[in-house]
Structure 1
Amino acid sequence: MLTQLINIIFNLESYLSPFLEHLGQSVYLILFILIFLETASLVFVFIPGQSFIFLASTLAASSTSGLNIWRLLLDFLLAAFFGNIVKYYIGQHFYRHRAIQSNAQSRFGRAQRLLNNHGEQIVIFGRFIPILGNLIPTIAGATKMNPLHYLFYTAIGVLVWVDVIAALGFFLGRLPIVHHNLTWFLLGFFIISALPSLIKTGWDHWKRPATEHN
């Protein structure tokens, strides 16, 4: 069993292609649901949305996968856009502005400060900030950001986020070295995506004792 699992991990593409062929057109619906859940709810933030976009776009570069990059792009754009709208209204109706303010040291507090200091720019580029980026739509709703402004800037943000990740995946997917080492490239992308968050968490952990000591 362990040998088979290792074989699957290190020969990922050879197993994924038949699996995608078996799923057929339903793969687009599955990917839509995954990205929508990750962007629409704080409960499903553990879903690696960026990694799914990257992996699917990388596979789309191969003719054997059967995936169409343009359908994937439409899928991801719609899922992320409507997911952000849902999260905005969750913030607007279920989170208290005062409660967020009173917890200034929390992730909500940091996300709110980012939104207050950078406004529309953080709505556009917030998705590239690990963990905190998932909170931006909720904070925008909780702080009653103008809905039309939010819709406009989140549409730009979704376009930038999806296009950058998908373009990177599709470009790398055209390189033979990537197909022969898909697992390593996917792992590297996941680590690079999570690195800023890990550094920030480590910095906060290292800094806290010094602050308490002073």
Structure 2
Amino acid sequence: DALRKTHDFYEKHGGKTIVLARFVPIVRSFAPLVAGAAKMNPLRFELYSGGGAIVWVGGIVLAGYLFGNIPFIKNNLSLILVVGILAALVPFSCALLIQLWRKYVLKQR
């Protein structure tokens, strides 16, 4: 039943799903797997996947060009990258701290 619903969803929204999945990190990993399980037409999948990849790469290159020409970013790129990496690690660090808190602190009560 769930597979039939997924197939119906991919019949109706599969193209949009595959293109938009390029822009969402975790979804990007699972959308092709689900498309295969839902028996999405392989040619249709490849067209939308390739189109999404072209839009994704073009957007990233354009963003790099536009932001790379801003003097503040150009002069502080290393600092911006370090701050970005640290910001990306915050959710994982918080999750780890919560897990450790639950395991060691709350268990002792």
Q: What TM-score bracket applies, with the shorter chain setting the length?
A: 0.5 to 0.7
Match of 1:137, SS state, is helix
Number of aligned residue pairs: 85
Structure 1 residues 189, 119: closer, same or farther in 2, change over 3 A? farther
Q: 1:140 aligns with which of 35, 44, 51?
A: 35
CA distance in 2, matches of 1:139, 1:185: 36
Amino acid at match of 2:21: G
Show structure 1 runs of 4+ deviating over 6 A: none
Give a deviation string over 1:83-102, Cα, whole Å, max 9, x none: xxxxxxxxxxxxxxx9xx59
- Superposed, which structure 2 residues align to 1:102-117 within 5 Å? 116=10
Structure 1 residues 189, 174: closer, same or farther in 2, change over 3 A? farther
Q: What is the match of residue 60 of structure 2?
A: 165
Unaligned segments of structure 1, at least 5 residues = 1-97, 103-111, 203-214
CA RMSD of aligned residues (A): 3.1
Match of 1:128, SS state, is coil
Q: What's the CA shift for 1:189?
A: 8.2
CA distance in 2, matches of 1:175, 1:134: 33
Unaligned segments of structure 2, at least 5 residues = 96-109
Matched, 1:176 2:61: no
Structure 1 residues 184, 156: closer, same or farther in 2, change over 3 A? same
Amino acid at match of 1:142: A
Q: TM-score, normalised by structure 1?
A: 0.34
Which of the pair has more CA radius of gyration?
2
Greater shift in the superposed pair: 178-187 or 131-140: 178-187
- Report sequence identity in percent: 34
Q: TM-score, normalised by structure 2?
A: 0.61
CA distance in 1, matches of 2:64, 2:54: 15
